[in-house]
Chains A and B, each alone.
Chain A
Amino acid sequence: MPSIPSSPIATLRGRFTEKHATRLLWRAGFGPKPGQAKRLAALGLDSAVASLTRPRGRARLIGRAPHGENGLPLDPIDVWGDDHCWWLDRMVRSDQQLVERMTLIWHSWFATSIDGATAALMLRQNRMMRARALGNFHDLLVEVTRDPAMLLWLSGTENNKYSPNENYGREVMELFTLGADRGYTQHDVHEQARALTGFDNRWSEGRGPYDFHFDPELHDTGVKRIFGQRGRFNYLDTCRLCVTHRTHPSFMVTKLWGYFVADPIPAGVLRALEHTYVRSGFEIRPLVEAILRHPLFYEGARMVIPPAVFCAGLLRGSGNTVQTNAWAWIGEQTGQRLFAPPNVAGWDYAHWLDTSRWTARFQAVNYALEKNTIDPESKTYDIHENASQALARALAFWGHPELSATTKDELRAFSRRAQTRIRADWEQRPYRVMRQNALRALIPTTPDWQTC
C-alpha cells in the first residue's frame, strides 16, 4: 500500500468505520460496490485515502464493456450521446475512482461545452484532464489555456493582435484562478487578452476545426501591464501571473474544499492548506489528501450526490454497467449532461434538485434496475414473505445501505400497505414480487441515498 504523508490539518480521530468509508467512496468516487465499503474500512483512514489518491499504473476497467441499445459498441465521437455514455462507463468501471472524480471536478472547474467544440476535441480535453487530475495546477492551467476545445469555447482562436477578445482573459481570472473581483481590474482583463493573442486554427467542411497552433504573426508582442507588472507577456505568462497572484491560493483551496465538503472551510484550515499548496509548487494531490482525511469531510453536513455520480453509483451498487444509450438523455434530464455544462461557470453544485430533476432520477433508477426486476409471473417467489422480510431482502440487494430510522419506517409502512392490497388468492405471489421490485426502486430514491 502506498504511503501518505502526515496531514497539515486535523484528521479524523477514532476508528475509520464502514460509514466513513461509504462517504469516502461517494465523495471521492462514484459510490460503493456491494461490500466495497467494508473492505475499504478495514484498511484504516490513511491507507484507504492513499488507495484513492495514489493509484498505481494504468486504470483498469472492470466488468462488462458498455454498449448501446442496438448492441453496438459506443461511438463517442460520432454518435450523439455516446460521449456521455463513454465517460459514465469509466465512472462505473474504473478502478481509479478518484482520478475519474477529479476529472469530473476539472470538467466543471474549467467548464467547456460540446456546444462550442466537437466531440473529438472534448474527449481530447477529457484525456488531458484525466492525465493531470492529481498533478500540478499550474501545468493543468497551461494545458487548459492551449486546449483546442477551450480555445473554441472561450474564443481563444478569435483573439489576435488586430482585435483582442477578452473572453478567456476574463474567465481565467474570474472563474479559474482568482475569483470575481479578487485583485484584478478591467485593465488587467484587457491586458490579459493581449497576452493571450496568437492562437489560431483552420476549419474545413469535412473535418470541422483542426490544426490548432500558436501563430507568432497573430500575437501582440507589445508590452503589457498585468497586476502592476510590465513585460512582453504571452499566454505562459498569463498562467504564471495568475497562479502566483496573492489571491490564487485561497481561491484554489476554498473551491477545491467545496467540491468535497459541505461545511465552509475553517479559517485555520484554509491558511494551512494555502501554505501547503504554495510550498509544494501548486500540487493538487497534497490538498486532496488533506481534505479527504479532515473530520468535517466525515462528520460534517451531507451533500446532494451530483447526477452523474448518482447514475454511476446506481450501476455500481446494482452490479450493472452501461448497456443502453438512454443514459445520455437521463444525464440531460437529471441535470448533468457530461461534456455540456450549462455555462462556463460549470454546474451549480448547490442546487441539484427540483421536481423535474427528482422525476428524472426516479427514471434513472428504473433504467439501472431494468435487468434486476423479478418477473411478476414468477412461479418460485416466496409466497409467504412478510413485510419485514421483503424490506430486508431489498436492502440486501443494495448491499445494506445505511438509512435513517424515519426512512426505514416509511419503507416498512409501504411494505405492509402493499401486502394489505392482496385480496384474491392469485395475487399472493405477483403482489409480493411487485413489492420487491418497488422496494428496490424506492431505496435509491430516498433522501438518505441521494445524499452522502
Chain B
Amino acid sequence: MAGRPPAENCCAGFTRTEAMRAAIAAGRQPNPREWDPRMPIPAGTGMDRRRFMLGAAGGLVSVYGAGRLGVGGRALAEGIAQAATTQSPSSPILVSIFLAGGIDALSVLAPTQDPTYRKLRPTLALSPSDGTPFAEDPRLSWGPAATGFAQLHGAGKLTVFPGIGYRDPDMSHFTSRHYWEVGAADTRVMTGWLGRYLDQVGTAANPLQGLSMDSEMNPTLATAVNPVAAMDLPESFSLWLHDVWGDVFSLTLDAASSMGDAHRRAADPALAQVAGAASEVGVVRRALAPFRNADGKPSYTAPVSYPTDSKSDFPQRLAGLAAMIAAGLPLRCVALTPDTQFDTHATQSETFTPGLTTISEAIAAFQADLEARGIADRVLVHVWSEFGRRAQENGGRGTDHGAAGVGMLIGTRTTGTMVGEWPALTNLDANGNQKENVDFRGVYCSLLEQWFDHDAASVIPDARTFARYQLIR
C-alpha cells in the first residue's frame, strides 16, 4: 500500500514553512504529506503564503482619532478620510497569539512544591526560588521565563487555564492545531473560528477586520466570504522598481492607482477586476503610509518600552499593532505567531527560556502600551498552543508531545483569575499526559458571548454541549 505509518513525535521542522526550508536546504522537493500523512488540509487552503492582502477585494479603511497616532496624523487623515466605515470606534478587538509547537505548561506554571514533578523532571524541574509564587494555588510558581505573565496576573489582568485541552486529544501538531484553529475537533472544517465570526459581523469592504501580523494568513482567521489581510508590520508594506526612486517613484505608484480609479467602473468585468485591485492597493498604501518614514522605518513611537530580541520581531509587531489600534484602523480579530517554536524535544531550556521571556515581556509591554494610550478596554489577548507536553521528560533534556496545556487571556476586562484547576501529576492519562479540565471550545463559546456579545452557536459546532466560563467582567 502507498504511504507509510505516521512518525511518532516527528519533529525538527514541524511547521510547513520550517519543513519546506529544511527540504530546500537538503536539496529536496518539499512535500507536506511526507512528514505527517495524517496532517489535515489546513484551514484556508490556497490562501496561505500570500504576502499582503488576502481574500476578496475590498475598499478599506477608515481612521478614527488620527491625531492620536501622534505622528503622521494629517497624512493619515488625508489618505483615507474618504473611505467609509461600518465599525464603531469602541468595538472589541481580540488578539490571538499562537505559541507554535506545543508549549510546556509545566515550565510556564510550574508545580515547584510537588514531589512527583521533581521525580518526572530530574533535569528540567524548576525550583520555587526560580520564579514568582502563584497566589491562587500554593503548589505552583510562574516560571522565570514567564515574568511578564506573573506581573499581569499579579495586577489582576491575566486569566489562566492551567489544564486546557479537549477529550481524546490528538498528539499530531497538525491535527491538534487544526482543531484549535477551526474551533472543532473535525479535520474537514476549512474556516477558522474567528473567520466564521468575521463572515457574520464583518463586511466585504474591510480586509483589516481580520489581520494576520505574520507573513502569511493565520488559519484561525480563514473566512469563507469576507476579506482578511496579512502583513508583518504596518511600515513594511512597500513596492519598489529597479532604477526608479524618489519623486518619480511616488508618481509612478500614484499613476498606477489612478489608472485603477479611472477604469474601476468599466463595463467590462475583467477590466474592472484589475482596476479595482489597482485602486485598492492605492488605498491600502495610503492608509499605511503614515506608519512609515521615508527611510522605511516606523513613524510611530510607543509610549512604553518593549523588550528587544535580535531573534524575534514579535515585540515590534505588537508595538505596530498598538499604534494601528490607537489610530483607529478598523480591526476586529488579529492573529500573531511569535517566532519561537516550542516543540522542545531536546535541550528544552535553550529555546524555551529566551523565547518565552521575550513573549511574556512583550505581551506585558503591549498591555502597558494600550493602557498608556487609553484603549486597553477595547482589547483582549488570547494566548494558546496546540497541546502541552509529556509530564515525564525524555532522555534529551526535552519533552515530547502531551495533551492538556496552558492558555491565557490578558486585558483590563478579563476576570484575572484561574479558570479550571491545575491537573495533578498523579492522575495522568494513558500516555502519561496531563488531563484537560477546561475545553478550548467552551472558552471560544464564552469569548464569543461575553467579549463579542455574539451567538456562539452560529460559530462553534455543537456550542450548547460545551460548558461556559466567566471570563469577562
> Using a CB–CB distance below 8 Å, which chain A residues touch chain B?
77-80, 83, 114-119, 151-152, 157-158, 160, 200-201, 203, 208-209, 262, 301-304, 332-333, 335, 342-343, 351-360, 362-363, 366, 369-370, 373-376, 404, 406-407, 410-411, 413-414, 417-418, 421, 431, 433-435, 437-438, 441-442, 445-448, 450-451
In the bound complex, do residue B248 and residue A434 qualify as a contact, i.e. CB atoms below 8 Å apart?
yes
How far is A209 from B56 in the complex, measured between Cα atoms in Å?
38
In the bound complex, do residue B278 and residue A447 qualify as a contact, i.e. CB atoms below 8 Å apart?
yes
How far is A447 from B270 in the complex, measured between Cα atoms in Å?
8
How far is A353 from B2 in the complex, measured between Cα atoms in Å?
38
In the bound complex, do residue B3 and residue A417 qualify as a contact, i.e. CB atoms below 8 Å apart?
no
Give the contacting residue for B273; candidates A351, A414, A446; CB below 8 A: A351
In the bound complex, do residue A158 and residue B1 qualify as a contact, i.e. CB atoms below 8 Å apart?
yes
CB B47 to nearest CB in A, in angstroms, measures 8
How far is A302 from B269 in the complex, measured between Cα atoms in Å?
8
1/0 contact string of B369-392 vs chain A (CB within 8 Å): 000000000000000000000000
Give the contacting residue for A366; candidates B2, B241, B246, B280; CB below 8 A: B241
Question: CB-CB < 8 A to B266: which residues of A?
Answer: 447
CB B251 to nearest CB in A, in angstroms, measures 5
In the bound complex, do residue A304 and residue B270 qualify as a contact, i.e. CB atoms below 8 Å apart?
yes
Chain A residue nearest in CB terms to B207: A355
In the bound complex, do residue B259 and residue A407 qualify as a contact, i.e. CB atoms below 8 Å apart?
yes
Chain B residue nearest in CB terms to A438: B252
Give the contacting residue for B33; candidates A79, A116, A151, A304; CB below 8 A: A116
CB A222 to nearest CB in B, in angstroms, measures 21
Question: CB-CB < 8 A to B240: which residues of A?
Answer: 366
**Would you mind naming 20 contact pairs between A and B with Cβ atoms under 8 Å apart?**
A78-B29, A80-B29, A158-B1, A200-B1, A200-B2, A262-B269, A302-B271, A353-B276, A354-B280, A355-B52, A356-B51, A363-B239, A411-B259, A434-B243, A437-B244, A438-B244, A441-B241, A442-B256, A442-B259, A445-B259
Chain B residue nearest in CB terms to A403: B259
In the bound complex, do residue A442 and residue B252 qualify as a contact, i.e. CB atoms below 8 Å apart?
yes
CB A285 to nearest CB in B, in angstroms, measures 27
Q: Which of B19-27, B172-180, B396-404 contacts A (4 or more CB under 8 A)?
A: B19-27
Chain B residue nearest in CB terms to A377: B243
How far is A309 from B376 in the complex, measured between Cα atoms in Å?
49
In the bound complex, do residue B2 and residue A342 qualify as a contact, i.e. CB atoms below 8 Å apart?
no
**Given that A115-B32, A118-B29 are known contacts, is A353 also in contact with B274, CB under 8 Å in the complex?**
yes
Question: CB-CB < 8 A to A447: which residues of B?
Answer: 259-260, 263, 266, 271, 274-275, 278
Top 4 nearest A-B pairs by Cβ distance? A342-B46, A355-B53, A358-B277, A414-B255
How far is A435 from B250 in the complex, measured between Cα atoms in Å?
11
How far is A441 from B57 in the complex, measured between Cα atoms in Å?
23
**Given that A353-B57, A447-B266 are known contacts, is A203 also in contact with B2, CB under 8 Å in the complex?**
yes
In the bound complex, do residue A332 and residue B2 qualify as a contact, i.e. CB atoms below 8 Å apart?
no
B4 sits at the interface (CB 8 A):
yes
How far is A157 from B2 in the complex, measured between Cα atoms in Å?
6
In the bound complex, do residue A355 and residue B277 qualify as a contact, i.e. CB atoms below 8 Å apart?
yes
Question: CB-CB < 8 A to A448: which residues of B?
Answer: 271
CB A132 to nearest CB in B, in angstroms, measures 25
Question: CB-CB < 8 A to A160: which residues of B?
Answer: 1
Question: CB-CB < 8 A to B51: which residues of A?
Answer: 333, 356, 359-360
CB B180 to nearest CB in A, in angstroms, measures 22
CB A197 to nearest CB in B, in angstroms, measures 12
In the bound complex, do residue B54 and residue A433 qualify as a contact, i.e. CB atoms below 8 Å apart?
no
Question: CB-CB < 8 A to A200: which residues of B?
Answer: 1-2
In the bound complex, do residue B248 and residue A451 qualify as a contact, i.e. CB atoms below 8 Å apart?
no
**Given that A333-B50, A445-B278 are known contacts, is A203 also in contact with B23, CB under 8 Å in the complex?**
no
Question: CB-CB < 8 A to A376: which residues of B?
Answer: 243
In the bound complex, do residue A410 and residue B259 qualify as a contact, i.e. CB atoms below 8 Å apart?
yes
How far is A369 from B31 in the complex, measured between Cα atoms in Å?
32
1/0 contact string of B339-374 vs chain A (CB within 8 Å): 000000000000000000000000000000000000
Count of A-B residue pairs with CB < 8 Å: 193
B103 sits at the interface (CB 8 A):
no
**Given that A374-B243, A447-B266 are known contacts, is A354 also in contact with B24, CB under 8 Å in the complex?**
no
Give the contacting residue for B248; candidates A342, A413, A421; CB below 8 A: A421
B49 sits at the interface (CB 8 A):
yes
Give the contacting residue for A418; candidates B46, B251, B284; CB below 8 A: B251
In the bound complex, do residue A158 and residue B2 qualify as a contact, i.e. CB atoms below 8 Å apart?
yes
B242 sits at the interface (CB 8 A):
yes
Give the contacting residue for A352; candidates B34, B249, B273; CB below 8 A: B273
Which residue among A116, A359, A373 has the maximum number of chain B CB atoms within 10 Å of its CB?
A: A359
Question: CB-CB < 8 A to B243: which residues of A?
Answer: 373-376, 433-434, 437
B227 sits at the interface (CB 8 A):
yes
B9 sits at the interface (CB 8 A):
no
Chain B residue nearest in CB terms to A407: B259
Give the contacting residue for B277; candidates A209, A353, A438; CB below 8 A: A353
**Given that A333-B51, A366-B240 are known contacts, is A411 also in contact with B255, CB under 8 Å in the complex?**
yes
How far is A262 from B243 in the complex, measured between Cα atoms in Å?
37
> Which residues in window 190-210 of B have CB below 8 A to A?
207
How far is A200 from B2 in the complex, measured between Cα atoms in Å?
7
> Which residues in window 13-61 of B have CB below 8 A to A?
20, 23-24, 27-34, 45-46, 49-57
In the bound complex, do residue A410 and residue B270 qualify as a contact, i.e. CB atoms below 8 Å apart?
no
**Given that A303-B270, A413-B255, A447-B260 are known contacts, is A358 also in contact with B248, CB under 8 Å in the complex?**
no
How far is A445 from B254 in the complex, measured between Cα atoms in Å?
12
In the bound complex, do residue B269 and residue A301 qualify as a contact, i.e. CB atoms below 8 Å apart?
yes
Chain B residue nearest in CB terms to A119: B29
In the bound complex, do residue B247 and residue A356 qualify as a contact, i.e. CB atoms below 8 Å apart?
no
In the bound complex, do residue B45 and residue A417 qualify as a contact, i.e. CB atoms below 8 Å apart?
no
How far is A358 from B255 in the complex, measured between Cα atoms in Å?
14
In the bound complex, do residue A451 and residue B242 qualify as a contact, i.e. CB atoms below 8 Å apart?
no
Give the contacting residue for A370; candidates B242, B269, B276, B280; CB below 8 A: B242
In the bound complex, do residue B259 and residue A446 qualify as a contact, i.e. CB atoms below 8 Å apart?
yes
How far is A322 from B192 in the complex, measured between Cα atoms in Å?
38
In the bound complex, do residue A158 and residue B274 qualify as a contact, i.e. CB atoms below 8 Å apart?
no
Question: CB-CB < 8 A to A441: which residues of B?
Answer: 241, 244, 252
Question: CB-CB < 8 A to B249: which residues of A?
Answer: 434, 438
Give the contacting residue for B258; candidates A203, A304, A360, A410; CB below 8 A: A410
How far is A303 from B274 in the complex, measured between Cα atoms in Å?
10
Chain B residue nearest in CB terms to A81: B24
Q: A437-B242, A438-B244 are in contact. List 16 more A-B contacts (CB 8 A).
A: A78-B27, A78-B28, A203-B2, A301-B268, A355-B277, A355-B284, A356-B54, A359-B51, A374-B243, A406-B262, A413-B258, A417-B251, A421-B247, A434-B248, A447-B259, A451-B274
In the bound complex, do residue A359 and residue B239 qualify as a contact, i.e. CB atoms below 8 Å apart?
yes
> Which residues in window 77-120 of B have CB below 8 A to A?
none
Give the contacting residue for B270; candidates A201, A203, A262; CB below 8 A: A262
In the bound complex, do residue B3 and residue A158 qualify as a contact, i.e. CB atoms below 8 Å apart?
yes
Give the contacting residue for A115; candidates B33, B53, B280; CB below 8 A: B33
CB A330 to nearest CB in B, in angstroms, measures 11
In the bound complex, do residue A203 and residue B252 qualify as a contact, i.e. CB atoms below 8 Å apart?
no
Question: CB-CB < 8 A to A118: which residues of B?
Answer: 29, 31
Give the contacting residue for A357; candidates B251, B254, B270, B277; CB below 8 A: B277
CB A218 to nearest CB in B, in angstroms, measures 9
How far is A366 from B29 in the complex, measured between Cα atoms in Å?
27
CB A411 to nearest CB in B, in angstroms, measures 7
**Given that A332-B49, A360-B51, A447-B266 are known contacts, is A438 also in contact with B248, CB under 8 Å in the complex?**
yes
How far is A442 from B252 in the complex, measured between Cα atoms in Å?
7
How far is A332 from B51 in the complex, measured between Cα atoms in Å?
10
How far is A408 from B255 in the complex, measured between Cα atoms in Å?
11
In the bound complex, do residue B263 and residue A354 qualify as a contact, i.e. CB atoms below 8 Å apart?
no
